[in-house]
Chains A and B, each alone.
Chain A
Amino acid sequence: MTSLRDVYELRRAQMLLGLATRLEAHLHTVFDGCERIDRISVRAKSVDRFVAKAEKEIDGKRKYDDPLTQIQDQLGARIVTYYKSDVERLTTEVMKYFRHIESVQIVPDSESEFGYEGRHFILFIPRDIFDDEVKEDESITFFELQIKTLFQHAWSEAEHDLGYKPSTVLSRNQKRQLAFTAAQAWGADQVFDELYRQIDSAGAQQGIAPL
């Protein structure tokens, strides 16, 4: 019997890797000319991460009964930009060029917590990237797009690396240290955005082109 791992591995090799390359090229075309984009990247979810997600349980029950269709980030795109204002600006652009079924700002649950932040979308894969070689009818429907500032991106990458090691159970102090770095990243974003707005606004008053 073919396992979920085998099925996904085949899908990844035969469809997702090709789609990722095409989608990345498409995103570069759409956002060409947008200022302060540090990077645009698209990845096909790794087999291990897909299987781990598929096996997630809530209250002792599997979260996904059909993970191949229910997991919507098999194709994940990320745009990293400079300032928080840029995230808002790019969000508007995403809404213009892509149809979404989800658009949420992910923030910690309470105002006294610091942790993961980012703008997440679930978007229909644009029809432009399909052709006779990669057929729309045979493809997955959605991809996930994250827009983050440089600091949000840096924090989440390091936190994911440190916090999700299979053998790691973080101590209370280690969790507080991670929260502390999140607070610093949050603070840096606040200050940079404030500086950006002040300098941009002063430039506008003097008739200087925006940053």
Chain B
Amino acid sequence: MELDSIHSFLIHPGKHLEEPPEISGTAVAKAGGLYDMLRRVFDRAEEECPHDVAFSADSEGKQHNECRNAILAYLKKTDLPHGRALAKSLQAVTTNRSGLGLLFLMKGTHKGETKIVVSRFPADSGIFAQEMEKELTVEFLERIFMKNAASYKAAVYSGKSYEHDFWKGKAGDKQINSAESYIASYWIKDFLHSDFLTPGEEGTRRFASAVREAMNHSTDTKTKEEITAFCQLLPGLTGKVASAKGILDRFHVSDGTQQQIKSRFRRASLFEEGFQFVPDELAKFLAFTTVELSNGGLLTAATSNFDKVFTKETVDSSKEIVRFSTQGSIVDQRFKKVKT
């Protein structure tokens, strides 16, 4: 796709300021080293932005989103004033902690389809070294804008109809898993007025359902033990953004078990879609763990507590004989009917 125009704006922090600093902006020439670098950012935006996002409705629940409107206005009239409107929105949510940044707006068109990439490079400091014929000069620079820094952010939207399309896109925010949630939400929630296309509850529900299905349909003891083991650790992911694959990799779940869980997703791409982990949703699906022994014994306890309630010892590893033990007072006893 042809990259038609690039505008750039210097964004000083302006959150809570009554008189935020003026925003300088410029059109970037379609030639030279900077253009070549931005061209790569534009072309690779879909790959560099792994998270599917969607613009949110306004506070009254109407189909109205300030950021989407500003983007559409810029697409319809691609010039500095319309780009500055977007830059002002970014400035209004930029804190001193987020710091100085350089905003790039890149627009391209191809066969009736329009694409826009919005990206922010953070400012950093560095040393400029210049080698002359017989000497080396070094200079400290304060406003270097780093594309590869950990806090580089971007979003990409494309579509044919301004009326109907441009509601969803992809976003990248290297700080998305930051423990400091205000930084993580700065780009997607505060500036883009967006959220993940798949809500956390839905992503967790989908993941938990696949894990439960894999557990209940597997006939392999080791797979079941592996699933039980990592499920104990899942509550530690509260609020983190990860894909099913990312979660399983994080807990070093074997390829075989990963494949069994992946096969329970309707399609492979959902296995790799990011979502914000919601432990309550997980608990709905994996509330209790039941172990059935070859002697007819059934042990059931809350999944999160199973290993604390029952102590497991290996009696004969060659025959996979184990002994479970527990103690407590009896609070209830029940009959259960046979499933038909």
Contacts and interface: CB of A to CB of B under 8 A. Distances in A.
B22 to A, nearest CB: 34
B267 interface: yes
A202 interface: no
A127 B197 contact: yes
B161 interface: yes
Given A104-B62, A131-B266, A97 B57 contact: no
Interface stretch (B198-206, B225-233, B301-309): B198-206
B205 A30 contact: yes
B40 interface: no
Given A96-B201, A124-B54, A69 B164 contact: yes
A99 B196 CA distance: 8
Given A104-B62, A128-B270, A130-B267, A99 B199 contact: yes
Contacts of B168: 124, 141
Interface in A105-134: 122, 124, 126-132
B42 interface: no
B61 A127 contact: no
A97 B201 contact: yes
B205 A100 contact: no
Contacts of B187: none
A161 interface: no
A101 interface: yes
A31 B205 CA distance: 12
Interface residues of B, number: 29
Interface residues of A, number: 24
A127 B63 contact: no
A129 B198 CA distance: 13
Contacts of A129: 266
Residue with the greatest number of chain B CB neighbours at <10 A, chosen from A101, A124, A132: A101
Interface of A is mostly: mixed
Given A104-B62, A128-B266, A131-B266, A99 B163 contact: no
A97 B205 contact: yes
Interface string A49-71: 00000000000000000100110
Given A124-B54, A131-B266, A131-B267, A99 B63 contact: no
Contacts of A128: 206, 266, 270
A103 B54 CA distance: 15
A100 B197 CA distance: 9
B41 to A, nearest CB: 23
Interface string B43-66: 000000000001111001111010
B195 interface: yes
Contacts of A38: none
B163 A66 contact: yes
A98 interface: yes
Interface string A84-105: 0000000000011111111110
A82 B250 CA distance: 44
A70 B164 contact: yes
A99 B54 contact: yes
Given A122-B63, A124-B54, A98 B199 contact: yes
Interface of B: 54-57, 60-63, 65, 161, 163-165, 167-168, 195-199, 201-202, 205-206, 266-267, 269-270, 273
Given A127-B269, A128-B266, A131-B267, 13 more contacts: A69-B163, A96-B202, A97-B202, A99-B197, A99-B199, A101-B167, A102-B57, A102-B62, A104-B62, A124-B54, A126-B198, A132-B267, A141-B165
30 contacts: A30-B205, A66-B164, A69-B161, A69-B164, A97-B205, A98-B202, A99-B195, A99-B196, A99-B197, A100-B57, A101-B54, A101-B56, A101-B65, A101-B167, A102-B61, A102-B62, A103-B61, A104-B61, A124-B54, A124-B167, A124-B197, A126-B198, A127-B270, A127-B273, A128-B266, A130-B266, A130-B267, A132-B267, A141-B165, A141-B167
Interface of A: 30, 66, 69-70, 95-104, 122, 124, 126-132, 141
